[in-house]
Every structure is written in structure tokens, then in C-alpha cells.
A and B are shown apart, each in its own frame.
Chain A
């Protein structure tokens, strides 16, 4: 069974503070993703990675940095947190599978971040 673990599950931060969200996968997948989920917007892609050492900007990267130090770990960093970054954040790893299917994403359980 594919396993993606996020930490922490819940986080309260202050405006201007630094926040690091961590994600670990044991699937040996090359691709990893960070999404945020907000009511009315569904899932929006923040950053993604094709493998250790690589990070790519998604659709809403402003205010976020990402780090992929190893195949297993992918972090999302908010250097200066703002209340607009209050959201639920999901990490996922991707299995490209065979030629006849789209990539299947395996999601963690999410991190609920509140920025006061």
C-alpha cells in the first residue's frame, strides 16, 4: 500500500513567522506534489518535484518555497506566513503507471494550517 505521511497534522502560526510542512513517502515515486485545498477552489498546485534536488513551480507558488532533499522527503516552506495562507495542505506522490493511464496520485492526510 502506497504511503504518504505529512507532519504536522495541525499547525497554528503567527503572521510573519516561518512554517515548514513536511512530507515523507515510502512509495519510491519520483514525482511529489504540494496542493492547498480551499472551499470553492478545490485543489491548487503550489510546487512539485520530479526527483531529489528538483523543484518546480505550480499554479500558485508565490509565498512558498519547496525543498526535495531526497526521494522520500518533500517540504513546503512559508518563509513569512500570512493569514491568506490559512488552508489545508496536501502532499502527494505520483506513480506514472503504464502507458494507458494517467499518473495516479497518492495523497497524505493533510495539514491544517492556521495563520493568525
Chain B
């Protein structure tokens, strides 16, 4: 089955800096890619989704890059602020009818 690896497990940046989180996956048929954010004491919330026909998507200070050749997905928070401090998860699946496979999470801390 699908294997998803996410790194780094912990990331600390200063306010205004960029933060980059990377996931790699194993199934070349994977077609749907999502990023979720989990704030302290809460469930996960969807940040952004992309399809496999998209290499780059930007939304509200977030950039998702997809490299299908290397089976790598990244999330870039540009100009991070303390409110971005949370745990971030990537999630992938081969089709919209299949279950999502989650990465192990990255705890991001943005220091003022």
C-alpha cells in the first residue's frame, strides 16, 4: 500500500521567514494531494488540495509544489507568523473514492 513520509517532524522559524514541509509518497498512481492543519487541542482542517495535473498552487501565503517524477509534495508558508504555529499533515490518495493516507505530521513553531 501507499507509504507517505513527511519531514521534518519539528520545524522552528522566526516570524517573517519561510517554512517548508516535504512529503514523499510511493504509489505512482497517486492523484490527489492535500495539506491539513491541526491547531492545539483540535481536529485537522483542510488547507489546500491539488490534483496530479498541477505542479504549483498558491493560496493566501501558502504554496504547494508537486514533483511527480520524484513523488514529492511540499508546502511552503511564506512570511510565517505566530498564528501559523500548528501541526501540518500531508494526505494523499489515488482517487477521490479511496481513503486518504496521512503523513506523520510536522510541528511548526513560529517565534515572534
Chain A residues with CB under 8 A of B42: 107, 109-110
CB distance from A46 to the nearest CB of B (A): 11
> Which among B13-21, B66-74, B75-83, B99-107 touches the partner chain?
B99-107
Least CB distance from B73 to A in Å reads 12
Residue A105 contacts which of B41, B44, B51 (CB distance < 8 angstroms)?
Answer: B44
B: number of interface residues (CB 8 Å): 26
Return chain B residues, CB-CB under 8 Å to A99. 96
Tell whether, in the assembled complex, residue A43 and residue B96 are in contact, meaning their CB atoms are under 8 Å apart.
no
A42 touches B96 (CB 8 A): no
Closest to B54 in A: A100
Q: Chain A interface (Cβ within 8 Å of chain B)?
A: 4, 33, 35, 40-45, 48, 58-59, 90, 92, 96-97, 99-110
